[in-house]
């Protein structure tokens, strides 16, 4: 199967659309990037 840079980016774009906001939030919190609210 042929693979191009454009096809790779297109596929990544489709994958990113499947990530839920809560999943993204949890990832950043667990990676230590959580904001501190006062």
Domain that holds residue 24: 1-37
pLDDT of residue 3: 87
Q: 36: which DSSP letter?
A: -
pTM of this prediction?
Answer: 0.53
Does residue 17 contact residue 10 with C-beta atoms inside 8 Å? no
Quote the number of domains for the chain.
1
User: What's the burial of 21, exposed, middle or buried (CB within 10 Å: 0-12/13-18/19+)?
Assistant: exposed
* Residues of the chain under the 50 pLDDT cut: none
Distances (CA, A) of 18 to 8, 12, 21, 24, 37: 16, 10, 10, 11, 28
């Amino acid at each position: 199967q042929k693979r191009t840079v454009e096809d790779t980016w297109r596929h990544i774009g489709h994958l990113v659309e499947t990530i839920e906001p809560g999943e993204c939030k949890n990832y950043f919190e667990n990676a230590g990037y959580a904001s501190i609210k006062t």
